[in-house]
Amino acid sequence: MSDGSEIAAVIESVRERVTPDAAERELLDEVAAELEARAERAVADLPVDADVVRVGSTARGTWLAGDRDVDLFVRFPADLPREDLERYGLAVGHEVLPAGHEEYAEHPYVKGEYRGFDVDCVPCHDVESAAAIRSAVDRTPFHNAYLRERLDEATAGDVRVAKAFLKAHRAYGANLRTRGFAGYLVELLVLEHGGLVHLLEAAADWNPPVRFDPEDHGVREFDDPLVVVDPTDPERNVAAALSATNLARLQHYSRELLAAPRASLFEPREPDPLSAADVREAVADRATTPVAVRFDAPDVVDDQLYPQLDRSLSGLHDGLERRGFDPLRSERFAAETAVLFVECAVAERPRIRRHEGPPVGVRAHAEGFYEKYEDAPDVYGPFVEEGRYVVERRRQFRTPAAFCEADALFDVSLGPHVASALESGYEVYAGPEVAALAAEFGVELARYFDPVP
Amino acid sequence: MSDGSEIAAVIESVRERVTPDAAERELLDEVAAELEARAERAVADLPVDADVVRVGSTARGTWLAGDRDVDLFVRFPADLPREDLERYGLAVGHEVLPAGHEEYAEHPYVKGEYRGFDVDCVPCHDVESAAAIRSAVDRTPFHNAYLRERLDEATAGDVRVAKAFLKAHRAYGANLRTRGFAGYLVELLVLEHGGLVHLLEAAADWNPPVRFDPEDHGVREFDDPLVVVDPTDPERNVAAALSATNLARLQHYSRELLAAPRASLFEPREPDPLSAADVREAVADRATTPVAVRFDAPDVVDDQLYPQLDRSLSGLHDGLERRGFDPLRSERFAAETAVLFVECAVAERPRIRRHEGPPVGVRAHAEGFYEKYEDAPDVYGPFVEEGRYVVERRRQFRTPAAFCEADALFDVSLGPHVASALESGYEVYAGPEVAALAAEFGVELARYFDPVP
């Protein structure tokens, strides 16, 4: 462990790199003010009252230099019917962002580019408190207000460095692809610990589950490894979407940083993409049997796509496990195509499989089992082992690829969009054939075959 | 289920076949009387009192036609020191059987041939009751007396047929190779159920554990699937050595016989031995990876050899299982050589194996694990999965044969005589190479590859 000055110097150097300079701040202020004004003009034309609030990291001074996101929320009366809110919200959105397009979270909203900034224009309800929300987005203005009251310039700087740290280790972002730390969660953790170094020191020592409740108002238990009770809503865990793995990453890299402070730990690792030959070499070195199911990526937003890929991957993994192919590790990739990739330890199973029947002493069951298999073709047995009937039957799938190529693939738990994409056709690659994935997923495969925490 | 007459006819036909004819009985009586007289003369020369009792099935009229065993017990005073009992017992034995040799159960005794009969001459203590025995053989005269009082000619006939039935299905004999039904156990079960048909009907319905206590004097619980409390010793389960498999065999074949009575169920199945080519064909049909460890059979009696083979086989099975070769079934064979035979489902493992470390949150452990593998050569990772460190290390054994050929074989649980036999050298056969076993174990392999209950 170094003394405090060493880590302070590293943090200071990172802070300089990730803090927007004056020109960037000015540009942001200017663009944000224009957007707010456009939104307010559009609101004025509506038959209902509404106000416009800027939210998100650019509104709170905690964005990373180079990020160019502006989030505008249009707050409508709490009793406005949902259909009206959606209609008015989209109307405002399209006026603010004439070239924008509609996306859908809990409500539809408009997303578009404006002077080089990515802008979201989102309608919400102006509710009494975050506990009274009608949809998840209603909560955001409360988060914003809570943090604006508490974040000073030094803390905002620590938040930026913390975000850069998590980003470097692919643990930043509450989206369902990453399942990392939300910006709001980072802000709360830095505030709760009184600065970044204290947070890192604490995180290095956490033995999950760990719970924080900044306003000391939590009213329920959570199962999650990290619990941070939302200061604006006692019912909610801000870290609910965080994966155990990303929490562990924060802990691991906190220890690394405290043990030997260095700026490199704040820089993303960008591996060189593997070539097809590299992939073949990696597979040969491991002598495993990877199998990949590749199909056209379903045309849905990432927050829909990745949970479905995860569910499908886990279904495929379990299916291969149940058939005895002993998966070592699995991963999903998505770009133009989507891939469920499972690396199996077992390349081939015998022609037979053991099938244990009931204890001979359970007469009705036992007689039924014996009669079923007594004269069945292609069956060894029934014989008796430790008081039970056992038979050895023909096995359905002798290789991982045979399983993936069969209709059995559709019996595993798949996300609905993945299932329909697979129905339109898919390719199966096995063993060295997975090298074909390198053209599209060379970087992902580099990460897979040279894994770090 | 047939009516009673059909099964009665089958049993009657078997009874005729297995009941010794008058000539055989006469010869036995004559030989047994001679042996008793020889023993009594030898006893008269000793400085202590002793008497001679004939025990076993030939003494009780329950032996199978063709069996030629005579068991003579020489009963010495209960307070005779063990050394004297052994010395006097052997002296009598050698006088009765001048060409006999010494064997060792709980005491040494003399075994030899006399006029074509296999004769055991065993010393025991003349104790008050079977509960007061000084060694297991002291119990035998009590068993004998108990049964002689109760067995009439009809029951003795049923006992013979029951023994033939169990013998046909390789479930007869309490020796540690078979772990089947002891003769005494069969006699008690037939008595308890009032005849063979009632026993078969009851056995077909048993749902183990099953308990009988003919004298209603049992004083403890037993874990065994079948419990028959010894009428001469309330502390003892007569069926303690019976395996769950042999109990299940009685149940299975009882049902078969009751469903379709036929004499063939009383005839041993003697399969044709497999040739080497047959074995290769069977292995190819199953597409498994059998592995066999073959060594000179240790020169010890079967009751020592088979428990050690069983223990070693189970150690090898577990060792192969732990290394991921997924044993399907295993068997041991012994004649001139002894063989531990394990049929694996997995022929080859990858070059790597997964090794899960501690949760990252358990700091001291986690740091130790990470440091150990961080710069280790030939290791993938450490990486994080579900909050734990994981590495992929080089695997030690990639095939079942590699494991068997390595010193690791000596780390599995082996019987001591098996371990020292292996130390003198052994052969490993894998896959189709196991065909080489057919020359010595063709019948055993036929049973293995065409298993029946």
What is d(CA A391, CA A378) in angstroms, rounded to the nearest whole number?
10
Contact indicator for A342, A400 with CB cutoff of 8 Å: yes
The answer to whether the Cβ–Cβ distance between B388 and A362 falls below 8 Å is no
How many Cα atoms sit within 13 Å of B339 on the Cβ side?
26
- Which tokens hold the place of A41? 């003009």
| 3-state SS assignment for residue B118 | strand
List of chain A residues whose C-beta atoms are within 8 Å of the C-beta of residue B383: 451-453
With residue B76 as reference, give the H or E element that holds it: strand B69-77
Residue keyed to tokens 């003349």: B126
Interface of B with A in 172-211 (CB under 8 A): 204-208
The answer to whether the Cβ–Cβ distance between A350 and B287 falls below 8 Å is yes
What is d(CA A49, CA A29) in angstroms, rounded to the nearest whole number?
25
What is d(CA A436, CA A429) in angstroms, rounded to the nearest whole number?
8
- Count of A–B CB contacts within 8 Å? 151
Exposed e or buried b per residue across B146-172, where buried means at least 16 C-beta atoms within 10 angstroms of its C-beta: bbeeebeeebbbbbbbbbbbbbbbbbb
Contact indicator for A208, A271 with CB cutoff of 8 Å: no
What pLDDT, on the 0 to 100 scale, is given for residue A3?
A: 64
Question: B303 CA to chain A: closest CA distance, Å?
Answer: 20
In tens, the pLDDT along B68-94 reads: 999 999 999 999 999 999 999 999 999
Contact indicator for B174, B140 with CB cutoff of 8 Å: no
Q: Give the N- to C-terminal CA distance of chain A in Å, as an integer.
A: 20
Domains in chain A (CATH in brackets) are 20-144 (3.30.460.10), 153-266 (1.10.1410.30), 276-348+398-449 (3.30.70.590), 352-394 (no CATH)
Quote the distance between the C-alpha of residue B193 and its chain's center.
25
What is d(CA B393, CA B381) in angstroms, rounded to the nearest whole number?
9
- Which tokens hold the place of B69? 């065993």
What pLDDT, on the 0 to 100 scale, is given for residue B313?
A: 97
Question: What residues contact B172, with CB distance under 8 A and at least 6 apart?
Answer: B163, B166, B178, B180, B181, B186
Closest Cα in chain A to B366: A252
Contact indicator for A334, B272 with CB cutoff of 8 Å: no
Exposed e or buried b per residue across B383-415, where buried means at least 16 C-beta atoms within 10 angstroms of its C-beta: bbbebbbbbbbebebbbbbbbbbeeebeebebb
What is d(CA A351, CA A64) in angstroms, rounded to the nearest whole number?
58
The answer to whether the Cβ–Cβ distance between A359 and B385 falls below 8 Å is no
Query: Helix B196-205 crosses helix B183-193 at what angle (to 10 degrees)?
Result: 90
Please state the rounded mean pLDDT for residues B14-31: 95
Contact indicator for A343, A329 with CB cutoff of 8 Å: yes
What pLDDT, on the 0 to 100 scale, is given for residue B3?
A: 64
Nearest to B252 by CA among B315, B203, B295: B203
Confidence of residue B5 (pLDDT cuts 50, 70, 90): confident
Interface of A with B in 224-243 (CB under 8 A): 225
Note whether A245 contacts B: Cβ–Cβ < 8 A: yes
The 3-class secondary structure across chain A, one letter per residue, is CCCHHHHHHHHHHHHHHHCCCHHHHHHHHHHHHHHHHHHHHHHHCCCCCCEEEEECHHHHCCCCCCCCEEEEEEEEECCCCHHHHHHHHHHHHHHHCCCCEEEECCCEEEEEEECCEEEEEEEEEECCCHHHCCCHHHHHHHHHHHHHHHCCHHHHHHHHHHHHHHHHCCCECCCCCCCCECHHHHHHHHHHHCCHHHHHHHHHHCCCCEEECCCCCCCCCCCCCEEEEECCEEEEECCCCCCHHHHHHHHHHHHHHHHCCCHHHHCCCCCCCCCHHHHHHHHHHHCCEEEEEEEECCCCCHHHHHHHHHHHHHHHHHHHHHCCCCEEEEEEEECCEEEEEEEECCCCCCCEEEEEEEECCCHHHHHHHHHHHHCCCCCEEEEEECCEEEEEEECCCCCHHHHHHCHHHHHCCCCHHHHHHHHCCCEEEEHHHHHHHHHHHHHHHHHHHCCCC
Backbone angles phi, psi at B221, to 5 degrees: -95, 155
Note whether A347 contacts B: Cβ–Cβ < 8 A: yes
List of chain A residues whose C-beta atoms are within 8 Å of the C-beta of residue B449: 380
What pLDDT, on the 0 to 100 scale, is given for residue B166?
A: 98
What pLDDT, on the 0 to 100 scale, is given for residue B4?
A: 75
B117-126 and B69-77: which strand pairing? parallel
Contact indicator for B324, B353 with CB cutoff of 8 Å: yes
What is d(CA B442, CA B448) in angstroms, rounded to the nearest whole number?
10
Please state the rounded mean pLDDT for residues B301-321: 95
At residue B345, what is the residue type? A
In tens, the pLDDT along B35-58 reads: 999 999 999 999 999 999 999 999
The answer to whether the Cβ–Cβ distance between B387 and A244 falls below 8 Å is yes
Contact indicator for A204, A258 with CB cutoff of 8 Å: yes
Model ipTM? 0.92
The answer to whether the Cβ–Cβ distance between B350 and A289 falls below 8 Å is yes
What is d(CA A83, CA A147) in angstroms, rounded to the nearest whole number?
31
The answer to whether the Cβ–Cβ distance between A352 and B324 falls below 8 Å is no
What pLDDT, on the 0 to 100 scale, is given for residue B131?
A: 82
What is d(CA B11, CA B188) in angstroms, rounded to the nearest whole number?
19
What is d(CA A145, CA A138) in angstroms, rounded to the nearest whole number?
12
Confidence of residue B104 (pLDDT cuts 50, 70, 90): confident
Dihedral of CA B302/B305/B308/B310: which sign?
negative
B233-237 and A352-359: which strand pairing? unpaired
List of chain A residues whose C-beta atoms are within 8 Å of the C-beta of residue B260: none
What pLDDT, on the 0 to 100 scale, is given for residue B136?
A: 85
Cα-trace Rg, chain A: 27
Confidence of residue B135 (pLDDT cuts 50, 70, 90): confident
What is d(CA A119, CA A139) in angstroms, rounded to the nearest whole number?
19
In tens, the pLDDT along B227-241 reads: 999 999 999 999 999
In this structure, what DSSP letter does residue B396 have? S
Please state the rounded mean pLDDT for residues B195-214: 97
Nearest to B165 by CA among B200, B216, B116: B200
What pLDDT, on the 0 to 100 scale, is given for residue A195?
A: 96
What pLDDT, on the 0 to 100 scale, is given for residue A104?
A: 83
The answer to whether the Cβ–Cβ distance between A286 and B384 falls below 8 Å is no
Note whether B361 contacts A: Cβ–Cβ < 8 A: yes
The answer to whether the Cβ–Cβ distance between A380 and B450 falls below 8 Å is yes
Per-residue pLDDT of chain A (453 residues; tens, 9 = 90+): 456 789 999 999 999 999 999 999 999 999 999 999 999 999 999 999 999 999 999 999 999 999 999 999 999 999 999 999 999 999 999 999 999 999 887 789 999 999 999 999 999 999 988 888 888 889 999 999 999 999 999 999 999 999 999 999 999 999 999 999 999 999 999 999 999 999 999 999 999 999 999 999 999 999 999 999 999 999 999 999 999 999 999 999 999 999 999 999 999 999 999 999 999 999 999 999 999 999 999 999 899 999 999 999 999 999 999 999 999 999 999 999 999 999 999 999 999 999 999 999 999 999 999 999 999 999 999 999 999 999 999 999 999 999 999 999 999 999 899 999 999 999 999 999 999 999 999 999 999 999 999
What pLDDT, on the 0 to 100 scale, is given for residue B112?
A: 96
